[in-house]
Amino acid sequence: MKVSVIIPLYNKARYIQRALDSVLAQTWAEYEVIVVDDGSTDHSGEIVGQYSDPRIRLITQANAGPGAARNCGLAEAKGEYVAFLDADDEWLPTFLEKCLDVLERPGRRVASVTSGYLLYPKGHSTESMWKKRGLREGIYEINAATPPQFLVYLLAYLTPCNTLARRDVLCQWGGFFSKNRCVYGEDSYLWLKIILNETIAVTLEPLVSIHSEASALSSNLPGPRPVEPMLTHPEGIEESCPASLHELLKQVLALRAMKTACVLSYWGHWREGRHLLRQFCPWSTRHWPFFWFAQLCATPLGTGSWRFLRFIQKMGKASIQG
């Protein structure tokens, strides 16, 4: 078996057929599909069960979160390579074929390849955005001279839906974060370990359609997302980080903490933001562009300013609708 496709499924009855059909339409056909129903309460699993293709297998489990669902599929996978597709997204027909071509080229062994994607509901390519952030097609091997902001961008580019990886690498670095039914940042916890330790490949050609409008975890949130596990449980990443990259990792975590502190303050949780800054942003980072802005945000004044801004935005929307 060359490729195992793992689809975590939770209450996606409206979209799972689209995802499965996009897998069955792949120009590379040597794969198995493992759908892990993570305690759905709709009829998502029943839709999967209607497929007669012997390559499709359905596993059910009590709800434990996307990381646990992917890890369950990973434990059952038989393929040399593993690809993950969320139940509300879809692949273009050549995703597997073109990603496999990169992974199996003679020469340097790469652990994974990540493609570009189309972002819906507008359906536009994000290639130009990533180019502006410095990403180019090719092979990446992080070293101590890598700018921390670039590493943050590279980490953001890797998602389960647009990455094909070697199964042994995913297992070696512990799989996805799954404690406490984590629903945000469980994938970046694993990708950061891989980026710090392995050689990876990037291609900017859009081979995936990501439907952000269909994701309940990323739209219309009434408050801030949970703090990502790389900040709540950094020890797992720190232990896996090569000694030569410890300083780079500290800088990456500091950047993530600054951004998260601002988001928390926007929603009124400035004390949590201040705690993150004290933990990850020492005085030596004061010359960074966002240091003082984050410090201001993590105060009652900062939260008050965000609250006023939200009020102005709400009034503006109300006047337009009226």
Dump pLDDT digits (tens) for 11-32.
Answer: 999 999 999 999 999 999 999 9
Mean pLDDT across 93-116: 95
Return the CA Rg of the chain.
20
Q: 107's torsion region: left (phi>0), alpha (psi -120 to 50) or beta?
A: left
Residue 159 structure tokens: 């998602």
At 319, the pLDDT band (50, 70, 90 cuts) reads low
Query: Lowest-pLDDT range, 103-107, 137-141, 213-217, 227-231?
Result: 213-217
Q: Please, what is the average pLDDT of the chain?
A: 93
Q: Please, what's the b/e burial string for 128-146 (b: 16 or more CB within 10 A of its CB; e: otherwise)?
A: eebeeeebeeeebebeeeb
How many Å apart are CA 49 and CA 211, to the nearest integer?
23
pLDDT of 213 higher than 90: no
Q: 61 has which bridge partners?
A: 38
Q: What are phi and psi of 90, to 5 degrees?
A: -150, 155
Residue 123 structure tokens: 């359906």
At 218, the pLDDT band (50, 70, 90 cuts) reads very low
Mean pLDDT across 136-163: 97
- The residue whose two tokens read 């900040």 is 231
Q: What pLDDT sits at residue 317? A: 65
Mean pLDDT across 247-268: 95
Identify which has the larger pLDDT, 15 or 224.
15
Percentage of the chain with pLDDT > 90?
A: 83
pLDDT of 309 higher than 60: yes
What are the C-alpha distances in Å from 117 to residues 10, 13, 44, 163? 23, 23, 25, 11
Secondary element (H or E) of residue 207:
strand 200-211
CB of 260 within 8 A of CB of 185? no
Give pTM, 2 decimals. Answer: 0.92
Mean pLDDT across 36-44: 95
How many Å apart are CA 250 and CA 178, to the nearest integer?
23
At 285, the pLDDT band (50, 70, 90 cuts) reads confident
pLDDT of 219 higher than 50: no
Mean pLDDT across 29-38: 97
pLDDT of 199 higher than 60: yes
Of 54, 113, 106, 58, which Cα lies nearest the Cα of 81? 113
Of 84, 88, 91, 111, which Cα lies nearest the Cα of 205? 91
Of 79, 118, 115, which Cα lies nearest the Cα of 95? 115
Q: 256 has which bridge partners?
A: none
pLDDT of 220 higher than 50: no
What are the C-alpha distances in Å from 1 to residues 69, 77, 82? 21, 9, 11
